[in-house]
Structure 1
Amino acid sequence: MAKVLVVLYPDPLDGYPPTYARDSIPVITGYPGGQTVPSPAAIDFTPGQLLGSVSGELGLRKFLDDGGNELVVTSDKDGPDSVFERELPTADVVISQPFWPAYLDAARIEKAKNLRLVITAGIGSDHVDLDAAMRHDITVAEVTYSNSISVAEHAVMLILDLVRNFVPAHEWVTSRRGWNIADAVSRSYDLEGMDVGVIAAGRIGVAVMRRLKPFDVHLFYTDKRRLPEATETELGLTFVPSVAELVTRVDVLSIHAPLTHETFHLFDSALLGTMRRGSYIVNTARAEILERDAVVEALETGQLAGYAGDVWYPQPPEADHPWRTMPNNAMTPHISGTSLSAQARYSAGVREILEDYFDHKPIRPEYLIVDSGALAGTGEASYSTDGTGSPGSSGQ
């Protein structure tokens, strides 16, 4: 029997939904590039349900109960008296989401003597100290690609929100009950013809560029590994060898890099100052890639025309976090990768990983981040291999 500790975000304020806006979601069988969607032996939920909140339990209750396992689900994850802190020392498996991360720093991993498996329900395992996980021979896995397209769609939406000045225009007709066309369009531009850059051309970054191509923009990107020439030709991409050069050449920047020691606070006041005045930044990756106050200053001075982010630090942020009130922002509460469509996929993926773990079968390489004391699978391709795999929960 295993104790499975799951940290999920709270239910809606009005309670778990008895009905949904739609009766079904499209059936997706595979991802671009050929990877198949999660394939557990069975699922005990209806796709399209709210699974990522506490009452949804990722659809795992029956499966784990039938196997004689103990399931503890909570949203109380922060502080020494939290449910997560109390239950962690006896947990065999910890599952959480990047949207509501259970930060597993070295100290918490040290006290979790039974911990053998950490799963991210979604993509992104930087809330785990990967170096500590390697030292303690803990397997770290995530449901790779399960919500990549969800995030890409959100990023494109945020780009359009900023450039077309959607949020203030919407506020004129809702909050202010006005019809102030001049005010609404005084910061509104066409995306057509702009130079758009992408940092990190992985699954999400490429999906963003593929969706932006029909807007007739000029697409630039940077990555440690250059894309195949055929992909560059198909999408009309220009490769730029460094972030420092890329940011000087674009009007809009979309960030999709993982949080590592190399990208931590990469965007400080100095780097932001090299961008074209009036540039836009969209960040659906990790908040700590940018210095918090440097972003605020750049918006206040007009160096940035807008900043849209779906990621914060910490998560959830404090009530007076300056990104809530800084000018010309289009912030969202880390929802890009947890649409109801994505939840069906990452919940199924979590179950697939658990089935393999309980049956002592190999976990898919594309799901693995750390295994047998080393970076593995997707982790080996995404994180550094020099002992600086992830900043983990530093400063949490």
Structure 2
Amino acid sequence: MSKQRLSVVVTRRLPEPVEKRLQELFDVELSDRDEPADREWLTEAMKRADVLVPSITDKIGPLELVDAGPRLKLIANYGAGVDHIDVETARSRGIMVTNTPGVVTEDTADMTMALILAVTRRIPEGLATMQSGEWDGWSPLAMLGGRIRGRKLGILGMGRIGQAVARRAQAFGMEIHYHNRHRLHPQTEEGLNATWWESFDQMVARMDVISIHCPHTPATFHLMNARRLKLMKPEAVIINTSRGEVIDENALTRMLRAGEIAGAGLDVFEHGTQFNPRLRELPNVVLLPHMGSATVEGRIEMGEKVIVNIKTFEDGHRPPDQVLPEMV
């Protein structure tokens, strides 16, 4: 007698190869929707599933977990970030949580460098000039940006992505500085030619570029608040491809409008899609729709990790990417 397959419910559309593989391995309920699941739909899905495959747009808090059915034993998140899931409550109810770390490292680091260049070299302004048909030829003073070689890059959060950004920035001739909860191993630090700052405030005040690469936790909420933003040099720029909640967006907007910060490149926003509309008006700001990890290769690899986590769980072993409350 064949073993009954796990019931897996997916909340969003995934790349076709991932969906096909899920269908081959599990009793899967795929989604034809490409929008966040509302609470009612999510609650019903959690009642009929052994495994839920959500994404970062699906909030799974205490209320949703309390209403989950007894069948639900695994939340296999499609994505590395898990701040949308109450991991502690899930564990207390016997529900394991997994994620997909490491997959988006190179793609997000690429996008970070793209934003640094876009802001400092005024690429969107040049593009807008060409698209409007207003360009009337080269001029010695036209569209002057800044050279990034020799600039001090301050990285907040020196994990996988922060280190990948440091490697790229090294190739561009930037000076690498970082602040982290724990100092890197001396050999790693030497390989990146990176300088550790115990004081985040002191680092912020001396950098030409600040790049955010830390998760959103209670400790990092508004870590770049109005006080710290005011520490930045007027000619400095700030880049965020991590979590929007780390920056006080309204304070940042005010300072950019006042010319107290030279520019910003943002791929994430404090309130999701509801970002401060005044940011759109600023020529020194580059806004992207959360594209940091948006590559075909990355999205498929994320799905492959989800599948490995589910299959390992089904086979009675600990999934390789289990998330524990103390890790969040």
TM-score with structure 1 length normalisation?
0.75
1:355 counterpart (308, 311, 328): 311
Stretches of structure 1 that go unaligned for 5 or more consecutive residues are 9-53, 384-396
TM-fit CA distance, 1:183: 10
What is the deviation of 1:248?
A: 0.7
* AA partner of residue 53 (structure 2): I
State whether structure 2 residue 68 is matched by structure 1 residue 112.
yes
What is the aligned partner in structure 2 of residue 77 from structure 1?
A: 36
CA displacement, residues 112-139 of structure 1 (integer Å, 9 cap, x when unaligned): 2343222222321111122322332321
| Alignment counterpart, residue 6 of structure 1, candidates 10, 21, 24 | 10
Q: 1:139 aligns with which of 89, 96, 100?
A: 96
> Are 1:56 and 2:15 matched, yes or no?
yes
- Structure 1 counterpart of 2:211: 254
Relative to its length, the structure with more helix (as a share) is 2
* More deviation, 160-169/323-332: 323-332
Give the conservation status (yes or no) of the 8 Å contact 1:310–1:331. yes
Aligned partner of 2:311: which letter? E
Moved more, 121-130 or 72-81: 72-81
Structure 1 partner of 2:160? 203
Q: CA deviation at 1:70?
A: 3.8
User: How far apart are residue 324 of structure 1 and its match?
Assistant: 3.9
Alignment partner of 1:172: what SS? helix
Are positions 1:158 and 2:103 aligned together? Answer: no
CA distance in 1, matches of 2:285, 2:61: 31
SS at match of 1:60: helix
Equivalent residues of 2:15, 2:300 under 8 A apart: no
Deviations 1:143-173, CA, capped at 9 Å, x for gaps: 1111111101110111111111111011111
1:140 and 1:303 mapped to 2: Cα distance? 42
By how many angstroms is 1:235 displaced? 2.5
Tell me the residue number matched to 1:94: 52
Q: Which moved more, 1:139-148 or 1:107-116?
A: 107-116
Q: Structure 1 vs Structure 2: percent identity of aligned residues?
A: 24
What is the RMSD of the two structures over their aligned residues, measured on CA atoms?
Answer: 2.4
CA distance in 2, matches of 1:296, 1:78: 30
Matched, 1:178 2:135: yes
How many Å separate the matches in 2 of 1:267 and 1:60? 39
Q: How does 1:193-342 map to 2 (within 5 A)?
A: 193-315=150-272, 317-318=273-274, 321-342=277-298
Bigger drift between 57-66 and 290-299 goes to 57-66
SS in 2 for 1:254: strand
1:345 aligns with 2:304: no
By how many angstroms is 1:266 displaced?
A: 1.3
1:322 Cα deviation (Å)?
4.1
Q: What is the TM-score of this pair, normalised by structure 2?
A: 0.89
Residue 184 of structure 1 and its aligned partner are, at CA, apart by: 8.5
Measured at CA, do residues 325 and 79 of structure 1 come closer, stay the same or move farther in structure 2, by a change above 3 Å?
farther
- Structure 2 unmatched runs, 5+: none
Offset at 1:73? 5.1
- Residue aligned with 1:125, SS: coil
- The yes-or-no answer on 1:369 pairing with 2:327 is no
In structure 2, the CA distance between the partners of 1:183 and 1:314, relative to structure 1 (3 Å rule), is farther
